[in-house]
Structure 1
């Protein structure tokens, strides 16, 4: 029977086999095509080559893991050996412990450079590494000198636990997208890099060491996108007049920045583990990004931001049209939600993304409020509810009292048109939640055009 199946596979046209593989998850496609050698050429029909160890190695047993890893390395060797010439635009290699497979990596490097790829990724990090393990944040492998021969063809370079030669980076005269992760990067290196490769407009830094003082000076940068993820940054100083997107995950920072063209900002302070009255710092961060039209904030900000003396001055200061709140809808977050609604007079869409968050037991109310009747006691409505808010999106509704009362309060919006609710359904209580959410359909609403959907 297995023989007949293999014969059937061999009769399938290459275009049909490629279509079949395209419908498989990449992990499953890798395994299937590694077993069926006559499918190797399907990979050659793609202009994006992704050799990812994680698609092949999934066992907790060291012995089995070593066998799976050998299959992976053999697959790479066989694929390159059977390669027939055509354009490859993107090449990616993800493999841990690179010191033990240098020959395979050198083969991949030679292949990628021969093809003149435009997008190159080398990821030598280990999925088991923990974010706070500083011993992991150094280069396990140096970028081979051949890569610098790509010169003007390379547009995107992503290096994780992979070092590079600063002096040779000037060869990449067309480099637009640079991502660095799991290595030590001094700020002076980063400044020189941005001044040398002036074509870089997208910079991503993930779990890099030595970037606490993120001071890039006053010289205008050409960046349009900047992502800083868990790099222990304590303050930011930079001048990026064309920056449109900023995403940050880490601890609270202080800042002195120019981002007048900013459009979207994502701020995550979930690494903070203690309650501190740092509302003034958070207000300053919001003020720095006040021009953004799309703003995503975390539960930490919701709990802490009202504690600052500057919170009164912040009212109606943001240009946000779409506000996304990562929240548990806990009573301790309600003051922060109200604060942001008051700070966004032009708000058109509000998304409540509900999920478990870190809630600080030593939380202190910034002013007296009866949290059990928080929304019912509101006598003044935010400007956005009066004039602009049209859509409310609720993701992961558990139908708690806080969630339902918040929705009832938002239903007082004068121009509100839609409330779209997606229920949390991972514990088998969908019918219960759906019944509770249906109470909103008959709740008092201010807008005659309001439609409520519950999924």
Structure 2
């Protein structure tokens, strides 16, 4: 709360300085300043950061008002606000309004306003928070999503662009030379390759729930790219070539897609590979995954899914990657069942510098493939003296710990062979009944009291 003296001191500042001050506040906080005085009521109309979020603003309406009335009131409020805007340049304009059908003209008016103020950071989100199925959204795309107006394509000073559920032609954006951040969701991106060469300063590219993605290559033109994220996309090309000399974060979730990675940064921070609920095996896929991981060996943190863990054992070298991973934290999303044992050991053995090993227990479909016969009950008792167990592994985590047979068997043997292990953290699933949680506590006590450890000062905790 600002004191009277402090408020008086601030009020002596020029309008230009006051606009800069309120532009560093959130849009909601900036609007609150309008009650301070008549002068402040006008100043808030000049903020450089404008945010119209339907979910936030309609929460302030009475609960008894029906949704259609709330939506109409929200649109009326936004149009009135921009009509009263007295400022000049807008740095950030955010518009979030789900299912804009029936309000296409009003949405274009708001986008025209953003373009007229030479916006630098533009966020347009017309997606529905209840959407789950990308195919259903694609089927109704032409009839339910609005077309970007001509004013949008004439923007020249964009630094950040985030578009969700828009009808957008990437090839028509006039100048993207200043763009550093691109995010696309719930829309087709056939012409995305034509946009990227116009954005040599691009540092972050995220594409989620999109289809007909025509991304054939990211070339040396985009050599500043540090974060690349794909989630649940359908590609229009057979393969994608990526030149990633500055990449720090690479995340992929979705169906298997062929990536060729070149000139990858030697100091990556994070890699995540999640192929969802796939269960269809293809010959050579294990080798493909090995080649992909070999391109990403510099990553400090690596997360892989059950599908990769199962399929990677179908590789010419079933013991480890042909190159050491520099990974210090390995996250294995796993069912921790025998079908994944070989793949789990493969990943651990490929990480000789591992310091933290995380098992994130999940429920996934088994891959239908021929497997090497193993003694499932005795698998973890012999031959697991990987380099990291002797020299570097200090922290072991198990998420969604229930104390089932294979969980206890693995823990018993890892605790037995890891010589520098300092902590074992077990995390119970959320929302369990009291009696189930009590049984898990008993299992954790069993681990703590009976498992013999090689390291002297090991501590075991349940959360």
- Partner SS state of residue 245, structure 2: coil
Of the three residues 236, 248, 252, the one matched with 1:244 is 248
Q: 1:435 aligns with which of 419, 432, 442?
A: 442
SS in 1 for 2:163: strand
Runs of 4+ in 1 over 6 A off after TM superposition: 37-47
Task: State yes or no: 1:131 paired with 2:134.
Answer: yes
Cα distance in 2, alignment partners of residues 45 and 273 from structure 1: 55
Distance 2:221 2:177 in 1: 19
Describe the superposition over 1:344-397 as per-residue Cα deviations: whole angstroms up to 9, x where unpaired.
111111122223x223174543x2212133212x22411111111111222221
> What's the counterpart of residue 151 of structure 1?
156
Cα distance in 2 for residues equivalent to 1:50 and 1:260: 37
Equivalent residue number for residue 229 of structure 1:
231
Q: Offset of 1:267 from its aligned partner? A: 0.7
Contact 2:124 2:162 in 1 (8 A): yes
Alignment-derived partner of residue 413 in structure 2: 409
Q: Which residue of 2 aligns with 1:385?
A: 389
- Structure 1's 363 and 248: CA in aligned 2 closer, same or farther, altered over 3 A? same
Q: Distance in 1 between matches of 2:45 and 2:438?
A: 49
**How do 1:268-417 and structure 2 match up within 5 A?**
268-277=274-283, 278-312=285-319, 314=321, 317-355=324-362, 357-360=363-366, 362=368, 364-365=370-371, 367-376=372-381, 378-411=382-415, 412-417=417-422
The number of aligned residues is: 417
Shift of the 409–449 alpha-carbon distance from structure 1 to 2, 3 Å rule, reads same
Would you say the 8 A contact 2:360–2:399 is kept in 1? yes
Deviation at 1:72, TM superposition (A): 2.5
TM-score by length of 2: 0.79
Alignment of 1:195-234 (within 5 A): 195-211=197-213, 214-216=215-217, 219=220, 221-222=222-223, 223-233=225-235, 234=238
Tell me what 2:13 maps to: none
Query: Structure 1 residues 257 and 434, CA, compared in 2 at 3 Å: closer, same or farther?
Result: same
Query: Of 427, 445, 461, which residue of structure 2 is paired with 1:453?
Result: 461
CA distance in 1, matches of 2:341, 2:389: 16
Determine the structure 2 residue equivalent to 1:175.
179
Mapped contact 1:315–1:342 kept (Cα < 8 A) = no
What is the rounded CA distance, in whole Å, between the counterparts of 2:181 and 2:249 in structure 1? 14
Q: 1:341 offset after TM fit, Å?
A: 0.6
CA contact (8 A) 1:280 1:311 kept: no
- Report if aligned partners of 1:148, 1:172 keep a CA contact under 8 Å in 2: no
Distance in structure 1 (CA, Å) of the matches to 2:277 and 2:174: 36
Counterpart for residue 193 of structure 1:
195
Give the distance between the partners of 1:55 and 1:447, measured in 2 at CA.
Answer: 52
Q: CA offset at residue 126 of structure 1? A: 3.1
Determine the C-alpha separation between the residues in 2 that align with 1:308 and 1:393: 28
More displaced, 333-342 or 275-284? 275-284
In structure 1, the residue matched to 2:19 is none
1:117-171 CA-partner distances (Å, limit 9, x unpaired): 332111223344412333245682232233355422x210011222345465343
Q: Structure 1 stretch 272-281 or stretch 401-410: which is displaced more?
A: 272-281
Per the TM alignment, residue 343 of structure 1 is displaced from its structure 2 partner at its CA by: 0.9
Residue 257 of structure 1, aligned match among 257, 261, 269: 261
Contact preservation (8 Å) 1:251, 1:270: yes
Range with greater deviation from structure 2 (64-73 or 279-288): 64-73
Instruction: Determine which of 417, 430, 452 is the counterpart of 1:444.
Output: 452
| Pair 49,217 (structure 1): closer, same or farther in 2 beyond 3 Å | closer
Runs of at least 5 residues in structure 1 that lack an aligned partner in the other structure: 1-12, 15-25
RMSD: 3.5
Q: Does structure 2 retain, via aligned residues, the 8 Å contact 1:137–1:209? A: no
